Chain A
């Protein structure tokens, strides 16, 4: 009896498994292989060249810069999206009359495609764009900037736009987490005379860890895979100042260097895995159950 039940579940998984293999597993393995070859548009006889592509990645100044930029972007957005998302969630978890409206407002940017957001922000961030005009209107002349064309701040600008877009989404996950925490804990804490700071750190944060974990993972992986916002707002420029791993992959393919492009992609995969999995395991251990 049990056996047929098992078989049945396997039949059902078959179509999905086949599609998954054909369109993901096989290309992924093929990509892994191609990253060790000199696959090029004008040289179709593949030769296995070992680690050469990877050596090239680490000897190319632009690629190093792109890795740095990706790291900066990932770090800034992970911190920004989660801190702001959490603050919004805690704030909007209180009994406010406008809380539903405010929740909708903060969540709404994440409904839009990041492409749309980037296109909207590009003119606003010009030297004589809306952002600078607003700064000047309130007397903050000194803060006005060439946001997207100053090589030293451009990656930060893009990160801030990305935070603006996505913090509301993080807020939604935190809100869900907050609402699953039973009020009894807070009541008990109140009776014991705990300050609201203390109950936040001793009750809210630990019980919110599952939501924090999910958000950290989502923002970290999203941050490391950043592409669209950079591509639309600067195309990696000015010069190469805002290149990230994603745009470098595109550049390599454009240059006909398919092998190198897949190598960068493989590297990104490995980096994401190396960072994400230990973090996931570490955070899981910290989780407590109610």
Chain B
């Protein structure tokens, strides 16, 4: 009996020892290459973490990294993170202070996933900041947190088939009544006017995200500040209800595919290629996807026609660079951004990728037709508005589910906004935001 007890004790001790040694191993790994010795004085190595899905990113082309190393004697080491684990890995790295020196991530998601304010440097005073044309696409909470040479964010609105519009003699609708009239004419010609793939709940958010933001920008500029300090609620704006009703009405009037809750986004490209549908509330990435399959397709995008002369929705840019506050080589990391922002390097990147330049001294190369349209009609005359995603500090998936529920017949627009108020306030409270 006694022996048995001793064994038990021994087992526990051994198990805990093993646990400790395992943890110790993990901790010992933290020495991110700071100095590599050699004859010349300590050479700095920057750790740049990006998701594997962004491995064709403009920032990490080897020739650019080599040139940077030659000029500054700072090496950039890439950490490729598996795409499906990017968020978790970065969250963990930030949490245990094992931060990379530079991170490539999406601005809107960084706000919710990575605790932007706490973890990342504000870049308002960087030398390149004054040359930025469109600060909005790099900013959150009024500060520049991220870096990119392009202002070419995903533009969100109504993606439409120009050829169908031409054949039917239609013009771009500028208000909701005109939009319904356009739908009616398309339907009469035997084509489905609007494709709604709301099996993917997020897709139901394209209409409200742009419509809400456009209305707020024009009528209640302080709304998002008030919202994030609990002075206002989503259900306080009666127009929001109207916008949700509009989107639902497009469906109830029979202008969409019949099975909106079974159809998913991945079917969209095929539907456009087959000319089964004429329009969809989506981002311009859909146009890129269609063009890849069939370059002869002519698609364009116009603003969500929720109100008279609405602005085109701009999603916060994907794949910007961020510098963590706890970066071990803050200066060198900023130096890297300076280098890429330099007129010569930025011009090369913009040219090779066909970006809309975001520096006032770097020229935009010739763009695909749809992109040129967006630039001429919306970006240059400043008729774009950041979608609501840019202003929300919490995980938005519950909102998407509520929108989906509206189409399942479970909730009225009013109930959608009420339920989102509740969930929003709970998420903000969990987050510890003052006022909730």
Contact = CB atoms under 8 A, between A and B. Distances in A.
Contacts of A240: 401, 405
Contacts of B406: 239
A23 to B, nearest CB: 10
Contacts, number: 102
B262, B402, B407 — most chain A CB neighbours (10 Å)? B262
B343 to A, nearest CB: 38
A258 B18 CA distance: 26
B261 A238 contact: yes
Interface in B409-436: 409-411, 427, 430-432
Contact of B14 (A6, A18, A239, A251): A18
Given A44-B95, A148-B262, A18 B18 contact: yes
B67 interface: no
A239 B401 contact: yes
A10 interface: yes
Interface SS of chain B: helix
B259 A151 contact: no
A151 B409 contact: yes
A38 B431 CA distance: 10
Given A18-B14, A21-B15, A41-B115, A251 B408 contact: no
A7 B6 CA distance: 12
Contacts of B408: 149-151, 237-239, 241
B226 interface: no
Interface string B138-172: 00000000000000000000000000000000000
Contacts of B432: 42-43
A26 interface: yes
A146, A149, A254 — most chain B CB neighbours (10 Å)? A149
Contacts of A21: 11, 15, 19
B228 interface: no
Contacts of A237: 199, 201, 261, 401, 404-405, 408
A213 to B, nearest CB: 31
Given A151-B410, A237-B201, A254-B397, A22 B259 contact: no
A103 interface: no
Contacts of B367: none
Interface string B84-104: 000000010001000000000
A148 B431 CA distance: 34
B262 A149 contact: yes
Interface string A64-93: 000000000000000000000000000000
Contacts of A3: 3
Interface string B235-262: 0000000000000000000000011011
B382 interface: no
A40 B431 contact: yes
B95 A41 contact: yes
Contact of B19 (A26, A38, A128): A26
B15 A22 contact: yes
Interface string B294-311: 000000000000000000
A14 B410 contact: no
B394 interface: yes
B5 interface: no
B7 interface: yes
A17 B7 CA distance: 12
B395 A256 contact: yes
Contact of B261 (A10, A129, A146, A255): A146
Nearest to A122: B262
A6 B2 CA distance: 13
Contacts of A260: 430
B262 A239 contact: no
B410 A241 contact: yes
B15 A255 contact: no
A257 interface: yes
A128 B112 CA distance: 38
A210 interface: no
A241 B407 CA distance: 12
Contacts of B404: 237-239
A108 B7 CA distance: 46
A236 interface: yes
Given A43-B432, A239-B408, A126 B262 contact: yes
Contact of A128 (B7, B18, B259): B259
Interface in B30-82: none
Given A239-B401, A251-B397, A256-B395, A126 B22 contact: no
B296 to A, nearest CB: 29
A41 B409 CA distance: 34
Nearest to B394: A255
Interface string A7-23: 10010001001100110
Contact of A239 (B11, B91, B258, B405): B405
A233 B15 CA distance: 41
A110 interface: no
Given A22-B18, A40-B431, A238 B410 contact: yes
Nearest to B408: A238
A42 B118 contact: yes
Contacts of B262: 126-127, 129, 146, 148-149
Contacts of A150: 408
A237 B115 CA distance: 28
A149 B261 contact: yes
A238 B395 contact: no
Nearest to A21: B15
A177 interface: no
B83 to A, nearest CB: 16
Contacts of B430: 38, 40, 255-257, 260
Contacts of A26: 15, 19
Contact of B395 (A7, A22, A235, A254): A254
Interface in A44-66: 44
Interface string A117-152: 000000000111100000000000000001011110
Interface in B194-248: 199, 201
12 contacts: A10-B7, A14-B11, A18-B11, A18-B18, A42-B115, A128-B259, A146-B262, A148-B262, A237-B261, A238-B261, A239-B408, A257-B430
Interface of A: 3, 6-7, 10, 14, 17-18, 21-22, 26, 38, 40-44, 126-129, 146, 148-151, 235-241, 251, 254-257, 260
Q: What are the nearest 5 A-B pairs in CB distance?
A: A239-B405, A238-B408, A149-B261, A21-B15, A42-B115
